[in-house]
A and B are shown apart, each in its own frame.
Chain A
């Protein structure tokens, strides 16, 4: 069965520092992978997605993620964090099958940014 693991429940970084949020997935075929961000009291906003092609994916707000099949990972990175990046981040995997639209989400990582 598909699953997503985000090993870090909570991360704190200083403003201007680099960021990496980890995501590991379990899926038999080539997965469709997503990163969403949720600000307090808000819905989820898509940061980026990977379906095929270049394994380094660029997203909004200066985020990028790299798909590594050998490590079953899809880590999210940002070179310099801004205070407005404080939020909860969700990694998700989709089966992509023609008869399913399911997304399986990880438990989320809460990012705190220190001034």
Chain B
């Protein structure tokens, strides 16, 4: 398997622009997670899906952030409008099942976002 695929790997945009990050989970995985990594706050869970349904979005910082999973093989994280403080590395991860069954989360390579 190719692992979790994220695109783009790097994104540079200007404040106020819309940013869309994409993720393809490992085939057959029922859970998908979006994380954000910054120097100040470390790794934070933003939202996760089970069978394409958002389960917990309590980590989404504000209404400018939205995430969708239209099907089992694709998810997007959108920031509109973007702000400089959104600059971070955004990771997507997937797992076969939930932690209670001993499953592991597999991480993608991340998207490095810079908002000028």
- Whether A100 and B99, one on each chain, are in contact in the complex, defined by CB atoms closer than 8 angstroms, is yes
Task: Please tell me which one of the listed residues B44, B95, B98, B110 contacts residue A98 in the complex, with CB atoms under 8 A apart.
Answer: B98
Counting chain A residues whose Cβ lies within 8 A of the other chain, the interface size class is 20 to 34
Residues of A within 8 A of B43 (CB): 90, 105, 108
- Whether B50 and A101, one on each chain, are in contact in the complex, defined by CB atoms closer than 8 angstroms, is yes
Shortest CB-to-CB span from B51 to chain A, Å, is 12
Task: Please tell me which one of the listed residues A46, A96, A107 contacts residue B104 in the complex, with CB atoms under 8 A apart.
Answer: A46
Task: Please tell me which one of the listed residues B100, B105, B107, B109 contacts residue A97 in the complex, with CB atoms under 8 A apart.
Answer: B100
- Whether A43 and B104, one on each chain, are in contact in the complex, defined by CB atoms closer than 8 angstroms, is no
- Whether A102 and B48, one on each chain, are in contact in the complex, defined by CB atoms closer than 8 angstroms, is yes
Known: A42-B109, A43-B91. A100 touches B56 (CB 8 A): yes
CA distance A94 to B42 in the complex (A): 16
Q: Which residue of B lies closest to A92 (CB)?
A: B43
Residues of B within 8 A of A42 (CB): 109-110
Shortest CB-to-CB span from A67 to chain B, Å, is 14
Known: A32-B99, A43-B4, A107-B42. A101 touches B33 (CB 8 A): yes
Q: How many residues of B contact A (CB 8 A)?
A: 25
Residues of A within 8 A of B33 (CB): 101, 103
- Whether B100 and A98, one on each chain, are in contact in the complex, defined by CB atoms closer than 8 angstroms, is yes
A-B contact pairs, 29 of them (CB 8 A): A32-B99, A32-B102, A42-B109, A43-B107, A49-B102, A94-B99, A95-B99, A96-B99, A96-B100, A97-B100, A100-B55, A100-B56, A101-B31, A101-B50, A101-B95, A101-B98, A101-B99, A102-B45, A102-B56, A102-B99, A103-B33, A103-B99, A104-B45, A105-B42, A105-B43, A105-B44, A106-B42, A107-B42, A108-B43
Interface of B with A (CB < 8 Å)? Answer: 4, 31, 33, 42-45, 48, 50, 55-56, 91, 93, 95, 98-100, 102, 104-110
